Amino acid sequence: MATIIFYQKPGCATNARQIQALKSAGHDVVVQDILKEPWHADELRSFFRNMPVGSWFNRAAPRVKSGEVNLDSIDAASALALMVSDPLLIRRPLIDLDGIRCAGLDREPALSLLGHQTQEHLQGCLHQATRTRCPKMGSSE
């Protein structure tokens, strides 16, 4: 099977379920902390490919939920600058499979890794559904 670099937020229950699903599918998963990665705009941009700019963001990030970051009017350069300075804004997980990259499990190469079965329970934030807070790692999911 494949070796996958999986960028997650430590303590995120959703990311933990996603990692387990990939491992259950027979893949080797190398977990990286998305908050500690020294991101550069060009590198980060490669995960989003042809996705609309607003979908690059973690919609559960406090700055998005509060309306401070307006996903309807932000341009690519501004989005990347914000994400480099505040990685909590980055949609998770970021997946790298031999240089083929994506953000989220609902697109390639993640779809193929999971056999084209992206179950809803692997995408949504558990803490939002139960209205609980994520473990303290600097902020909520």
User: Rounded to the nearest 5 degrees, what angle is found at the Cα of 14, between the Cα atoms of 10 and 16?
Assistant: 55
Q: What gap in Å lies between CA 107 and CA 105, rounded to an integer?
A: 6
Q: What gap in Å lies between CA 21 and CA 117, rounded to an integer?
A: 10
Give the contacts of 86 (CB within 8 A, at least 6 positions apart): 61, 63
Question: Is 12 one of the annotated active-site residues of the chain?
Answer: yes
Active-site residue, selected from the candidate residues 12, 102, 125, 134: 12
Q: So which residues are the catalytic ones?
A: 12
